[in-house]
Structure 1
C-alpha cells in the first residue's frame, strides 16, 4: 500500500463518521440542498471542460468530441433532467387502499437510504462516476465516490474538483487502488453501486452480504448484433455505419454496452465485411500508426490480454481485416474476424476491445437459439424490419435491454431504465430510475379510530368467517359489510 493509500485508509473511518453525521442532520433531505448540489455539478462541468478533455486524452486518448458525447454531455443531460424533476420525484404518491378499510388513506413516501458507496469504472471515468452521484444526490443521500485508479488523471480531477463545488461534508471522493477498495468494502453502507467487471462484482456482492447491504451491479457481457436481411441499400449503409460506430466508436470497444459480435446469414457475410472495411477506413484510417478518432487500450495488461486473444492460432486464421498492433501507443487496429472457433476465449469471454467476430448462420432465425445458449447479455441489438422477428426476439430472449435498428442510444434515454439481468448485472438507473435506486419507498397507511370492525376479533363464529371471506373476495362490498359487521 502506498503512502497516499495508507493515509486514505486511515481517514476512511473519519470520513464515514462525518458523512453519517451529515445525513442524521437531515439537511440532505431538503429539496433546496439537492438542487444546490445538482447545480454545482453543472457548474463543475461548465468550468472545467478543458480539464476534462485533457484528463480523458491523458488516460484513454479520447478525442474531445467523443469525450463530450460520452462523458460531458451525459452528465449535463442527467443533471438538468434531475434538476427539473426532483421535486416531483420526492412527492408522496397516493396508494390504493381496500374499501374494506374505509375510511383510510395510503401513500408511498420516497426517503433516502443513507450512506452510499459508488465505484466508478475507468472506461467512462467521468460519466460513470457523476451519473450515479446525480441519482444519489437527487434522492437525498450522502455519498462516497471511489473513482477507478486505472484512469488516474480523471480520478485526480474528480478528487480535486468535487470538494470545491459540492458539499464536502456530504459528498467525498476517496482515491486509491485495490487496498483502498477492500478497506471501503469492509465498512457498513446503506447501498453500494458498482460499475465494472464480473470478477470484481462478485467481490463487491460478497462483501456487501456481510452487512446485508443492497447492491446495484452494472456489469456487462457479450452484447450481440443480429443483422437481418435488409433489401434497401440505404438501410444497409446506415446499419453498417451504426455497427462500426457502435463497435469502435465508444472507447475503442472498451464499453459494457459496446458490440461484442455480429450474427448474420452466411450469404451476406462477405458484403458486410467489405462495407465494414470501407467504413473503418473512412472513420479511423487504415494504418495502425496513424489511426485517428480511436481511443487507446487503457493499459499494458489489457493490451496483452487482447493480443493473446488474437494470437490463438485458430483465431488468427479467422482474421479478415486488421490485426495490427502498436505496442508503444497501446493501439489495436479495428479488427474483423470471420467465424472464429466458438469455444475460443474470444467467443466465451467479453472482448472489451476493438475486435469484432462475425458469426455466420444458415438462417437469421438461428440467432435466437445462439443467444439463448449463452449468458444473458446486457443488451441485444437487432437490425430488422420484420415485425414478427422483432416479437420473437423480445419474447424468446432475455437481456438487460433490446435496441432495434440502432446501437448505444438506449444509454441516453432518461425515461428508460438502464441495467442488466443475470450475469450482466442487476438493478437499474438513469432518470427517475436512478432516484428510485437510491431511495426507499416507505409505505404509509393512515386510519381513523372509527368505525371499528368487530368482526376482525375473536371470539370467532360463522358470521365472522363469512364476513372475512367476502371481504377478501369482493372489495367493493367492503362498505356494506362494514355496517353489518360492526357489532357482530
Structure 2
C-alpha cells in the first residue's frame, strides 16, 4: 500500500515548501479566499464520508462507521462551520486600550498569517486530528503541509489524492509516508509545526523544530485520571467512564487512563463498569461496534501490561472470554479492568492507549490530588460526584490540559474552548478562535497622534524632561 502513496511534485516536499513560502510572503489570503478554502475542505469531507470510514476501518482491522462519523466527521463539520461563521470577526483588527500618558494615540492588534504551517498527524483519529488543525491554519490564512501516519496507509493515500484534487499543492498538500519523509518534513523551517502523538516522539519533534527556531504546538498524552468522589452515583459514573474509555478501543489521547476511587467502592465500580461493557459492546469479538487495535505490536504491548499487573497481584476482570482466539485474530483486545492496581505496575506507569482500565484505591480527595500531582500533568482529568466543594478542590489544586465534570471527553469538542496539554502532555492549543490566534501573528500597532507630546522626551535633556518624567512617574 505504501507504494501508492508517493511524494508529490517533481522536486519533492522541499520544492513545494519553497514555493509555498514564496507565495505566503507575497500576499495574505483575503476573507473570501479563506472561506473558499474552508468550503472546499468541507466538501471534501462531506463527499467522501463513507470512503473515509471504509479506509479507516481497513487500516484498523475494524472500526464502526458510526464511530468514525461521531468522533471525526461531525466534529470537523462543526469546526468548519464555526470558523466560517466567525472568521470575519477573528480577522478584524482588535482595538486595544491606550494608557493615559499616550492619549490620544491608538493601539491595535492586527492578525496576520504566519506563513507555512506543518502538521504531523497521528493514526488514532486520522481524519479529525489531521484536519482540525488544518482548519485553524487555513482560517488564519496560512498555507499547510501535512505528513500523515504510516500506520494508516489506506487513509493516508485517500487523503493525499482527495486534497490534491481540490487544492493547489502550495495551498494544502499531503506528503508521502515512505523512506526518510518524517525526518525531512520535521527538518523544514516551517513558520509553525503542529504534532499530535506520544510525549516521547513529541520531544524529538520539538528538538528538530528548535534547530530552525520553529514554534510548535504539541498535543501529546499521558495518564488522564478519572476521580470518582464519594458523592458520585457509581452506576452513572461507570457507564460514562466505560463509554469514554472504549471509544476507539481506548486509542484516544484524552481517554480516562485510570480510576481513583475510595477503597470500599472499587469492587462495586468494577462490577457496574463490567456490566456497562456487556450492554454496549456485548462479549463477542464479532461485535462490529468495537474497534480493533491498530497493529500487532500495539496489541502485544497491551497483553504485556495485563500480564505484568496480574503477576503483581491485581485482579483482572473482563466481561468477555479472553481465551477465545478470535479476539487476537481480529486484533480486538477484550475490555479489561485492573482491580487493585498499584504504583509498581507498568499499567500505572505509562500511558495505556487501549481498553485497559486500572482501578486505584484513594480514600480521600487529598490523597487523589496528591497522587495526580506526584506525576506529569495530564492531558485530561475527569471528576464524578455531587459535592461541589470536593470538585472545586480538585479543580483548583490540580493542573491538566482540560476537565470534564460528570462525564468524559466532552470538553474536547467545545468550539469556544482551547484544546491542549500542559507540561509533558503538550504545548499550545487550538480549536475555534484559540487555533486562529495561535496560528496568527497578532501584530501590535501603535498609531501616534499629532497632538501627543512624545517629542518632549527627545534630547537635549533639561528642565522640561524632568517635569515630564515627574508627571509620567505620577501616572505610572
Same fold (TM over 0.5): yes
Whole-angstrom CA distance in 2 between matches of 1:126 and 1:225: 27
Partner-residue secondary structure (3-state), 1:268: helix
Partner-residue secondary structure (3-state), 1:117: strand
Partner-residue secondary structure (3-state), 1:403: strand
Query: Match for residue 203 of structure 2?
Result: 202
Query: Match for residue 277 of structure 1?
Result: 274
Moved more, 438-447 or 171-180: 171-180
Query: Match for residue 468 of structure 1?
Result: 469
Query: Match for residue 119 of structure 2?
Result: 118
Partner-residue secondary structure (3-state), 2:180: helix
Whole-angstrom CA distance in 2 between matches of 1:59 and 1:47: 20
Question: How many Å apart are 1:451 and its aligned residue?
Answer: 4.2
Structure 1, unaligned runs of 5 or more: 476-488
Of residues 257, 261, 272 in structure 2, which corresponds to 1:260? Answer: 257
Structure 1 residues 324, 219: CA separation in 2 closer, same or farther (over 3 Å shift)? same
Verify the 8 A CA contact 2:63 2:288 in the aligned structure 1: no
Structure 1 residues 7, 382: CA separation in 2 closer, same or farther (over 3 Å shift)? closer
Query: Match for residue 330 of structure 2?
Result: 329
Q: How does 1:122-141 map to 2 (within 5 A)?
A: 122-141=123-142
Verify the 8 A CA contact 2:365 2:394 in the aligned structure 1: no
Whole-angstrom CA distance in 2 between matches of 1:253 and 1:63: 14
Verify the 8 A CA contact 2:6 2:178 in the aligned structure 1: no
Whole-angstrom CA distance in 1 between matches of 2:3 and 2:51: 26
Partner-residue secondary structure (3-state), 1:362: coil
Whole-angstrom CA distance in 2 between matches of 1:241 and 1:352: 19
Verify the 8 A CA contact 1:97 1:105 in the aligned structure 2: yes
Verify the 8 A CA contact 1:19 1:170 in the aligned structure 2: yes
Structure 1 residues 451, 346: CA separation in 2 closer, same or farther (over 3 Å shift)? closer
Verify the 8 A CA contact 1:381 1:404 in the aligned structure 2: yes
Verify the 8 A CA contact 1:136 1:435 in the aligned structure 2: yes
Q: Deviations over 1:262-321 (max 9, x none)?
A: 00001111111111111111111123x334411111101111111111122435743133
Whole-angstrom CA distance in 2 between matches of 1:7 and 1:73: 29
Whole-angstrom CA distance in 2 between matches of 1:92 and 1:275: 54
Whole-angstrom CA distance in 2 between matches of 1:382 and 1:357: 16
Whole-angstrom CA distance in 2 between matches of 1:186 and 1:256: 25
Whole-angstrom CA distance in 1 between matches of 2:452 and 2:40: 52
Whole-angstrom CA distance in 2 between matches of 1:366 and 1:167: 55
Whole-angstrom CA distance in 1 between matches of 2:246 and 2:66: 14
**Alignment length, in residue pairs?**
468
Verify the 8 A CA contact 1:91 1:110 in the aligned structure 2: yes
Structure 2, unaligned runs of 5 or more: none
Query: Match for residue 175 of structure 1?
Result: 176
Verify the 8 A CA contact 1:115 1:142 in the aligned structure 2: yes
Query: Match for residue 222 of structure 1?
Result: 223
Query: Match for residue 423 of structure 2?
Result: 422
Structure 1 residues 459, 7: CA separation in 2 closer, same or farther (over 3 Å shift)? closer
Whole-angstrom CA distance in 2 between matches of 1:349 and 1:10: 41
Superposition CA RMSD, Å = 2.0
